Amino acid sequence: MIRRHQYVWLTALVIALLGYEHGIHALAPPPNPAHWTVEGLPKKPVAAGTTFTIKLSAHILPGWHIYALDEPDGGPVPTQIGLAEGDHLTLLTVDEPAPRMVPDPVLHQPTGMFQNVVDFTLRLRIPRKLSSPQTASRILVRYQSCNDEVCLPPHTETVVLPLKRIIP
């Protein structure tokens, strides 16, 4: 039988553990402050050997930012966009809007950053001959997310580009 003082200690321990666990979850950064989508797919199929453009959009949680494609040496990890190895498409160019240049509160140097939503424009080429059918391309985005207090480690995300409507 549990004595009264043992019950009080056990109850206090459970409350402390629950409060500690809740505190950790409340302070933990989100696992992924940026959500990536592909927009602006061609409305009609694209002929082999030709190019097309799409928008790769990052929807960034409030209070967070990601960095521009070009950053100074010793600065934050710049955003990098490419295609998965062995992809049939060729990535020709990646364009970004002008980033907001600010002194980074964590890195203490001017950096180009994006908040809320940013659209990167990708120009892609379909090969003249496809060796095998491909139903999707995989866009790889490597980026670093920061807020005013912390920078998360660089993260690579795969964004699927469906090709069924694009390649006849």
Digit-by-digit pLDDT tens for the chain (168 residues) are: 545 444 334 344 444 444 444 444 445 655 789 999 999 999 999 998 999 999 999 999 999 999 999 988 878 899 999 999 999 999 999 999 999 998 876 677 889 999 999 999 999 999 988 777 778 999 999 999 999 888 899 999 999 999 988 887
CB–CB of 31/64 below 8 Å? no
Answer yes or no: are the C-beta atoms of 145 and 34 closer than 8 Å.
Answer: yes
Direct distance between the N- and C-terminal alpha carbons of the chain, in angstroms, rounded to an integer: 75
Strand partners, 93: 123
How far is the C-alpha of 85 from the C-alpha of 139, rounded, in Å?
Answer: 10
pTM for the whole thing? 0.79
